[in-house]
Chain A
């Protein structure tokens, strides 16, 4: 391998380095010295990105959230307006509450159903038989294509008034709706689109199921536990860390849905704001109405909400997530 061709010159001992003994004590790593410099050399692109692409923009947006900045204003025009954006948001903006409600409904309905579908299919696929790999791959396919515009377009065609879904329902004598154009049902079609992409959490569940020791099932059957009891008393507790992982991941993702809502509503969040997901609202205020200051305030509220949500999820996790090694991770 490449090792044998290594021909880097021996770097001479630099003055002022820590003594060889101290070097040795810290393992191969060494301390500050050569690795210290190299560490920062290798880290420099990331650090630059952290500063320029993440930290400075974040501070900037925090500042802008207290201003009336629009894309058209020059920096001299920017007016500090204090908490006005936040005040407007909470007291004078019904669309904000609409966006919050839509997002909550979307995430709270979709995530549990998606995880249930993922777990059910994972349980069915958790056996070694010929062809199981193909099944896993095919169930995963929608997740892979998931975020694309093409699928959102297909979805709006499927659920259109004269779309295939209604054609299918007509076969059973049911008269359908113009699903995507009806404020009562449009969000539902987005939720179904989200559930349909259960492949990603499914694959993670499959990995988790492989970790459950077969001995536990054997012991449970010897004790006369029915498959149902085995599921509740062996599978579920052993799988709880993976369920937790998927729950956190999918909830955060659920809160960030954008593409499908944007495409299905043609960027409006309609009909009648029924699909106005929070990020879509943020985009509208920032990039369609050019109110970057207000949009920055929206973004910060969103960030805090996700932070709170993560903390809540992690604190409830204590009560039901069971770690095999007894450690609280």
Chain B
């Protein structure tokens, strides 16, 4: 739709506060309360006393205590300091490995002409639909055969360094198609090789796509459970999600407060990312159909 049409449309609606709009707003607010309640409840509950936690549906604690945070932090033989460091290291390495390898592959697909390009591109799109769960067992066997299982960073990071997240390759291909080809041509005429074009034209101009990729690969890695569950077997290698899971093994009620406190902390990095990049995230999804 054309820009003036949007403006006209918005202007017509703006100066009329009708009953319909009031109803709409009311429905939205009720919906938002429902949607946000579980999040608010877990945050509130993490500050409640043990007796109050499970059954109290109110968000605010009647008696405020932060003791669950200190107790939760040291619930296991290895403290959460270690788990947070592990998660951070894995997430940051994944972000870097993923962004670089996907950008390089996307440049080849989007800009370079080479034999069998169409064939490889079709394969890449095909792997987009391939469920990761199907591959986890044979990948485990391959990594096990290579002797990588005792160094869990390798099976977690190496696949990311080899652009196996086809989704991001596709995202970046789509983005690069929007960069004017004239720039490549000008650079080529100025004597740039394909490597020069990549370095001097595509890399600097791809910053928005790189940032989107970085944000999402950080969040997905931070929240990842399946692969980390498979490859992390020593307590000191555990990441935050795998450690959180220990709370359901240990006995229920008494550790509920600690579990909530650590759950809140585990959501915090993603939440902060969300606050910082909210606009970009929602727009990134708009254009690419990323999942949450």
What residues of chain A have their CB less than 8 Å away from a CB belonging to chain B? 1-3, 5-6, 8-11, 26, 28-32, 34-43, 45-50, 52-54, 56-58, 60-61, 64, 69, 71, 121, 124-125, 127-129, 133, 135-151, 153-158, 160, 162-164, 167-168, 196-197, 199-200, 203-204, 206-207, 210-215, 245, 249, 252-253, 255-256, 258-259, 262-263, 266, 279, 282-283, 286-287, 292, 295-296, 299-300, 302-303, 306, 310
Contact = CB atoms under 8 A, between A and B. Distances in A.
Given A141-B39, A153-B263, A164-B41, A303 B225 contact: no
Interface centre among A2, A35, A43, A296 (most CB of B within 10 A): A43
What does DSSP make chain B's interface, helix, strand, loop or mixed?
A: helix
Contact of A164 (B55, B219, B225): B55
Nearest to B287: A207
Nearest to A295: B137
Contact of B28 (A43, A54, A58, A135): A135
A286 B137 contact: yes
Interface stretch (B62-70, B73-81, B177-185): B177-185
Nearest to A125: B28
B141 interface: yes
Interface string B218-244: 011011111001100000000001101
A49 B164 contact: yes
A295 B263 CA distance: 32
Contacts of B120: 43, 47
B22 interface: no
A262 B227 CA distance: 13
A140 B292 contact: yes
Contact of B24 (A26, A45, A124, A138): A124
* Chain B: number of interface residues, binned into ranges: 35 or more
A57 B193 contact: no
A43 B108 contact: yes
Given A11-B191, A148-B223, A153-B248, 11 more contacts: A8-B200, A28-B181, A38-B193, A49-B159, A54-B130, A71-B144, A138-B36, A139-B32, A167-B56, A282-B133, A283-B133
Contacts of A121: 28, 31
B185 A162 contact: no
B162 A139 contact: no
B286 A206 contact: yes
Nearest to B279: A133
Contacts of B287: 207
Contacts of A10: 191
B108 A137 contact: no
B112 A38 contact: yes
Contact of A52 (B142, B220, B291): B142
Given A64-B138, A137-B274, A163-B55, A310 B169 contact: no
